[in-house]
Amino acid sequence: MLRVVSWNINGIRSPLQSLGCQIPSNCSTVLRHILEELDADIVCLQETKVTRDALTEPLAIVEGYNSYFSFSRSQRGYSGVATFCKDSATPVAAEEGLSGLFANLNGDVGCYGNMTEFTQEQLRALDSEGRAVLTQHKIRTWEGKEKSLTLINVYCPRADPGKPERLTFKMQFYRLLQIRAEALLAAGCHVIILGDLNTAHRPIDHCNAGSLEWFEEDPGRKWLDGLLSDLEYHAGSHIGSFMDSYRYFYPKQERAFTCWPVITGARHLNYGARLDYVLGDRTLVIDTFQAAFLLSEVKGSDHCPVGAVLNMSCVPAKQCPALCTRFLPEFSGTQLKILGFLVPHKQEPMWEQQVLQPSHQIQVQKQQKSQAHRYSSRPQKHQGGSRRCQRNLMSYFQPSVNLPQTSPAVDLPRLPLVGTLVTPKTQEEDVIARTVAEQTKVSEVKDKKAVQTLFWKSVLSGPSPTPLCRGHREPRVMRIVKKTGPNMGRHFYTCARPQGPPNDPSSSCNFFLWSRPS
């Protein structure tokens, strides 16, 4: 049996960190643990978000597996796919991209089809985001026949509603993918397309298809309609080149979603869409597919893994194709490192220097003698101090000798001012005056404390109490707009419950309120 799994991992380092991979040397062990938990002969990962310069050896080389990466050349931390094959399923050929522009003519898959409708610039742009890796395997069917099987690991673009050019890019990528897959089929090779296609095909594959305008008219869904065969055969039904393996086994299964919005917590109530597929050519699905599955219990990403089981076995190649990461210069040991140039310099022994350079030593000795004679001819400093020595700081504060000494101060009797009348106070008046003064002082202190208290209360009052949502009368949660536009950076309140079906009372009440600026 051959088991294949596809997973949009949303960053290859994200699930590693969630499993406690903090030391890079441990990442290889943790990644191997993830691959073994998926229990597949071939694991296809999408959205690795790692570029060539950021790829480390523990992520690239895993014991028992051979891996093949495609990196984004246009943006860091973006897109990227990787295919990990067990050594028992080593491919005979591997290639990056769909157009063939990145092929190195050494172990490539080939079979490109007619791509004349694209310019060279368009083909390079479609393959520069690291969205496809092809691996070709030699398989043995249950009948004992040996055939070729090509796996196309893809991460299809997403159509941003605010960027119409991305919809054009997405449809061009779909078209290029179909041309390459059908060319491989025409050459007599079985083909599996697996990965994140970024389109929910049918209304049953989307949690909220009924409220979306023009759901059936979406260009991506129309493309899938043309690529896939109808599951129900009747007069006039469309027969495409490929079949959806999950719907082949579960045509009526509802809420079979593979992707959920993270911010709204929709995964708790299984409120998402099915964007990840394992598509096989019609003959392959009907004759050899034994099962298809979704691993919704596997966490670590906003997607869950999907896969299929085929009634066949792989015949491993004797050597990995040239695209294998273990052949990259930085991992194969053929790339020169800067430490190789920093070799410590060997110092020659002293007797060799004396023998080889006697004249130079005599000149140095003469220079040393002349310098010693020059220094000895200088006048020596007096040991006992001199007039030009540095003065002590306290000498500036001593009285000057030239000033005449003044006579000692004499205390003169103080006479009362002329015209000043002293009126003696009675004892009662003195008590009253002291009492009034004390009361005045106490009131001033209380007023000062009251003013300070009001000031600090206004400064340290903290945020205002969280308002309640109208549906559940529960505290709402504050979020921030991160999408580019006029409201970017603004805060708003929404219901704290996870997003779910409208008829589910435990789901969010869809409350929304802009936060007032403080």
Neighbours of 190 (CB within 10 A): 24
Residues linked to residue 43 through DSSP beta bridges, in sequence order = 5, 84
Q: Does 87 count as an annotated binding residue? A: no
Reported for 224-230, long-range contacts at CB under 8 A and 24+ positions apart, including other chains, are 224/197, 224/199, 225/201, 227/178, 227/279, 228/201, 228/279, 229/282
Residues linked to residue 194 through DSSP beta bridges, in sequence order = 153, 278
Q: Does 198 count as an annotated binding residue? A: yes
**Contact in structure between 195 and 42 (CB atoms under 8 Å):** no
CA-closest candidate to residue 293, choices 281, 277, 270 = 277
Q: Tell me the C-alpha distance between 6 and 133, whole Å.
A: 13
Neighbours of 515 (CB within 10 A): 15
Report the largest interatomic distance among the alpha carbons of the chain, rounded to a whole angstrom: 135
Q: Tell me the C-alpha distance between 197 and 154, whole Å.
A: 7
Q: Does 302 count as an annotated binding residue? A: yes
**Contact in structure between 76 and 99 (CB atoms under 8 Å):** no
Q: Does 444 count as an annotated binding residue? A: no
Q: Does 196 count as an annotated binding residue? A: yes
CB hemisphere CA count around 173 (13 angstroms): 25
The end-to-end CA distance of the chain, in Å, is 63
Residue 325 one-letter amino acid: T
Q: Does 281 count as an annotated binding residue? A: no
CA-closest candidate to residue 514, choices 496, 487, 474 = 487
- DSSP tag of 403: S
Q: Residue 135, exposed/middle/buried by CB under 10 A (0-12, 13-18, 19+)?
A: buried
Q: Using DSSP, state whether 82 is helix, strand or coil.
A: strand
Q: Annotated catalytic sites, by residue?
A: 155, 196, 303
CB hemisphere CA count around 89 (13 angstroms): 22
Residues 223, 95, 39, 59, CA torsion sign? negative
Residues in the chain: 518
Residue 342 one-letter amino acid: L
Q: How far is CA 288 from each of CA 61, 92, 107, 175, 314, rounded to the nearest angstrom?
A: 31, 21, 27, 27, 13
Q: Tell me the C-alpha distance between 1 and 175, whole Å.
A: 32
Q: Tell me the C-alpha distance between 274 and 41, whole Å.
A: 23
Binding-site residues for Mg(2+) sit at 8, 47, 196, 198, 302-303
Binding-site residues sit at 8, 47, 196, 198, 302-303
